[in-house]
Structure formats: structure tokens, C-alpha cells
DNA sequence: TTTGTTGCAAATCATTTGCACGTAG
DNA sequence: CTACGTGCAAATGATTTGCAACAAA
């Protein structure tokens, strides 16, 4: 369960102070920050980091497959560093908080061949929605 | 299987020419247009309809629960008029085409209580991804 | 009439890009 | 040294909003 930063170094990713800070901000489970939130936290450790650099860096991490991009809510995309551990998401319809969840069984199995329209189906992203304990 | 327009009239939705045109554009299965595409098609029937009106109207249809908003692709949201018929989506990772699909079983059942973090889970949205026949 | 809807343009928000400067390898 | 990353500001794309004119019930 090596962390994001280690994995990036191992891949020979060119390291800079801003890239390191972005990778440090994105650490742990149940972390689903927007680009702006990542920027805000990064600034606390590296005041001169630019918003555009955060966007570029996040885009690169997504391209590398080290971070997953979520469109779960209406506005800004969120970034999930837990890419090495397959999981789905549970979102509160009221406050928007997101938890990582692990459903049983293979979601792909629920889609019969007749319902595949000739597609080669590769993945299934599931978003569960409901009310969290605080909002219920 | 009454159509969208009928259901809206039945609900006593205040009808205007632009609302009617928007509702007419959103008809049928496997329809997943962006707000801009809806506007483009609406203009063909009612040249003076404003883009803002299309956005407002779509937002209202979503609030009424008569249309579902999809964030499946990176950029613009798409609108699915098939709200009365529960279904999931199959998206081509290459060209972005979307098909409505009906998986077997109840997706909610796959989430065990221990994985619900105290949430009251209401729905499960599934997005299958893969390559369509043309892109494979 | 009366209340809710529309059109227009300007405002906002999220994200991207162009370019000169800076720095990791 | 030299390719690649960064900061800044301006550009873009999607969507929302303010407000006066307008039309459905």
C-alpha cells in the first residue's frame, strides 16, 4: 500500500516542489477534493503555487492513472487518489459528502450480452446516493 | 408510455411555445443531448428561442423529475428524458455515444450494510464503459 | 389582470492556454 | 546545458442571473 508520492517517484515522474505538494495533499482514503480545494491546501504549504499548475498536475495524474476523476456532483470535478484500490462511491444527496465503498460481486456480471449492444464493456462505475447520518 | 409533453400537461405545467419545443426535442429512447444540442434543435422549430430559456427549462424539468441529468462525459451535462423508466447507461470510451441499458438484479443489493456508513441509501447509478462496435 | 416566462446581455465558475522565466536531471 | 515545468494573465466553454418586455391562465 505504497503512497501516491512513492509510486510517482518509482515511475520516474519528474519531481518539483509543486508536484510534491499536490501529491501530498492527495493522500488517504475517502479523499475527494475539487481542483480548487487541492489548490487551497497546496497554497498552505507552498504559497506561490499557481492554480493552473494544480490543474495541469491533476490532469497529468489522471492521465497516468494514479488519480481518478469524479463527476459525481453538478459543478467541479473531484479527484480521488485511491486509484490502485478498485472501489465505488456513496454520495450524500444533501451535503455532498463522499465515501469509498466496496460492493460485493462483479458489477459487470449484471449486464447481460443482449443488453450490451455489441459493446466491449470494460468497467462499471457505480454511484450510490442517499442521506448520510448527519443529514438524515 | 405517455410521452414527456403529455405528462407535463397532465401535471399542469404552464405551457409556452418554447417549453413545448424543448419537450418535443427531448423524446424517445437513447436520447442524451447536451443543453446546447437541445438549443440547436429547438431553434430549428422556433428560431427566436434563447439559450438561457433552454437552460432554465431543462433545469426545471430536472427539478420536476421528468428528465435526468447525466454528468457522464467530461464537459457539458446531458439530458435524458427517459426518467419514468429506470435504466443505466453504457458509454463508449472513444466516441462518447450513450445507450440505455437494463442490468439484471437490484444494484442496491450489492452494497452490504457494513459498507453503508450509516447512510440511508436510495439509488444506485451505474455507468458501464467500453468500446462501441464502430470504435472497437 | 396577474403571475410566471422569455430574451438579451452581462456575470460567474471551472478549466485551459500562450508565453516568458525558472529549474530538475 | 536543455528539456520540461511553472506562474501569470488572458481566453474559453458552460451555465446562471438581472431585468424589462411579454403572454398564458
CA B16 to C1' D23, whole Å: 9
Nearest CA in chain A to B135: A119
- How far apart are the C-alpha atoms of A75 and B26, rounded to whole Å? 23
| Nearest beta carbon to residue B110 from set A92, A104, A112 | A104
CA A96 to C1' D18, whole Å: 29
Domain check: are B29 and B63 in the same one? yes
Going by their DSSP bridges, the two strands B88-92 and B78-80 should be labelled as unpaired
> Residue B100 is part of which domain span?
88-130
Predicted local confidence at residue A99, as pLDDT: 95
Among residues A72, A117, A109, which one has the least CA distance to residue B125?
A72
Coil vs helix vs strand at B83:
coil
What are the contacts of B7-14 at 24+ separation with CB within 8 A? B7/B66, B7/B84, B8/B64, B8/B66, B11/B64, B13/B64
Residues of A in contact with B119 (CB under 8 A): 90, 92, 99, 128, 130-133, 136
Residue A96, CB, strand C, below 7 Å: no
pTM: 0.91
Predicted local confidence at residue B113, as pLDDT: 95
Predicted local confidence at residue A71, as pLDDT: 86
Chain A and chain B share a number of CB contacts under 8 A equal to 129
Predicted local confidence at residue B136, as pLDDT: 85
Domain check: are B98 and B59 in the same one? no
Residues in chain B whose Cβ is within 8 Å of chain A:
69, 71-72, 74, 77, 90, 92-93, 99, 101-105, 107-108, 110-112, 115-133, 136
Domain check: are B92 and B75 in the same one? no
| Nearest beta carbon to residue A111 from set B77, B101, B124 | B101
pLDDT tens digits, one per residue of A71-114? 877 788 999 998 989 999 999 998 889 999 999 989 999 999 99
Task: Give one word for B34, left, alpha or beta, with left for phi > 0 and alpha for psi -120 to 50.
Answer: beta
Domain check: are A30 and A66 in the same one? yes
Specify the DSSP element, H or E, that contains B97.
none
Percent of chain A with pLDDT over 70: 99
- How far apart are the C-alpha atoms of A96 and B50, rounded to whole Å? 32
Nearest residue by alpha-carbon distance to C1' of D16: B52
Domain check: are A8 and A71 in the same one? yes
Q: Taking CB atoms and an 8 Å limit, are B128 and A108 in contact across chains?
A: yes
Domain count, chain B: 2
Going across the sheet that includes A120-131, the strands are A98-101, A88-92, A120-131, B120-131, B88-92, B98-101
Predicted local confidence at residue A73, as pLDDT: 72
Q: What residues of chain B score a pLDDT lower than 70?
A: 1-2, 74
Domain check: are A9 and A53 in the same one? yes
Domain check: are B21 and B45 in the same one? yes
Residues of A in contact with B94 (CB under 8 A): none
Which CATH number characterizes residue B45's domain?
Answer: 1.10.10.10
Amino acid at each position: 500500500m505504497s503512497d501516491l508520492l512513492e509510486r510517482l517517484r518509482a515511475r520516474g515522474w519528474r519531481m518539483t516542489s509543486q508536484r510534491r505538494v499536490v501529491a501530498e495533499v492527495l493522500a488517504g482514503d475517502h479523499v475527494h477534493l475539487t481542483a480548487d480545494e487541492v489548490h487551497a491546501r497546496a497554497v498552505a504549504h507552498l504559497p506561490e503555487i499557481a492554480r493552473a499548475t494544480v490543474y495541469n498536475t491533476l490532469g497529468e495524474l489522471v492521465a497516468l492513472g494514479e488519480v481518478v476523476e469524479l463527476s459525481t456532483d453538478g459543478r467541479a470535478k473531484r479527484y480521488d487518489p485511491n486509484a490502485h484500490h478498485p472501489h465505488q462511491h456513496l454520495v450524500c444527496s444533501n451535503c455532498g459528502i463522499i465515501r469509498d465503498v466496496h460492493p460485493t460481486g462483479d458489477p459487470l456480471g449484471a449486464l447481460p450480452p443482449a443488453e450490451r449492444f455489441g459493446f466491449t464493456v470494460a468497467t462499471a462505475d457505480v454511484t450510490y446516493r442517499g442521506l448520510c447520518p448527519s443529514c438524515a
